Amino acid sequence: MSPQAAAERREQSQAGSLQMLGQLKVAKALSGRGYSHRRFQPRWAHHRGTCDAREVVLARDGRGVRRNKYCHPVKGTWYSPYDGKVLKSEKLVDVDHVVPLAYAWRSGAKRWSQAKRRAFANDLTRPELKVVSHSINIAKGGKGPQSWRPPRRGYWCRYATSWISVKHHYRLFVTKREKKALINMLRTCR
């Protein structure tokens, strides 16, 4: 892709994300009362035979991934876009929910059915599931963009567009501070 085409794509991505962000309801975060990881994901959902969503993401996002007969990765290399680490062991990687489950709960998922929460937690269609280093996933926790951003500034545009796309699809609301942080990150798309 030429540099000009790449620049045009980033501008379209930024404009589309700003438009979607403008369509999201702005509200105060709901209480975290009642939240439990198990309300979304008692376990990873199976998608392809014996492969669960986590194993599908590890295979999708890795290079040279080899799996055992149970679909579990036994070899491969993964790149963590948040911190730029190259990871050569599945034990060093996590599958991150771009919009953390606890954050989604406080953004409206609290009112969803169990089935919808499970679909959200295992969504392979939208940019919700990413392979990242275990250490960066722990640092991120359940935080939103107003209090946590990927250390690699070069990934802010992609992170913000992914966050907005997921929130828009699931009709989750944003807080004022969250929206402001997302707009600031979208400025790096240029």
Single pTM value for the model: 0.90
One-letter amino acid for residue 63 of the chain: R
The torsion angles phi and psi of 177, rounded to 5 degrees, stand at: -65, -40
pLDDT band, residue 9 (cuts 50/70/90): low
Question: Counting beta carbons within 10 angstroms of the beta carbon of residue 107, is it exposed (0 to 12), middle (13 to 18) or buried (19 or more)?
Answer: buried
Q: pLDDT grade, residue 12 (50/70/90)? A: low
Cβ atoms of 39 and 32 within 8 Å: the answer is: no
pLDDT at 95: 95
For residues 47 and 80, which has the higher predicted lDDT (pLDDT)? 80
C-alpha distances in Å from residue 65, one per residue of 20, 62, 82, 87: 35, 6, 21, 12
The helix, strand and coil proportions of the chain, stated in percent and rounded to the nearest 5, come to 50, 20, 35
Summarize pLDDT for 133-187 with one digit per residue, the tens. Answer: 999 999 999 999 999 999 999 999 999 999 999 999 999 999 999 999 999 999 9
User: Which residues have a Cβ under 8 Å from the Cβ of 20 and sit 6 or more positions away?
Assistant: 164, 165, 168
For the chain, the domains span 3-189
Place of tokens 């406080």: 106
Q: Look up tokens 């034990």; give the residue.
A: 91
Cα–Cα distance list, 174 to 27, 29, 133 (Å)? 6, 8, 26
Percent of the chain with pLDDT over 90: 79
pLDDT score at 7:
44
Q: Is 59 helix (H, G, I), strand (E, B) or coil?
A: helix
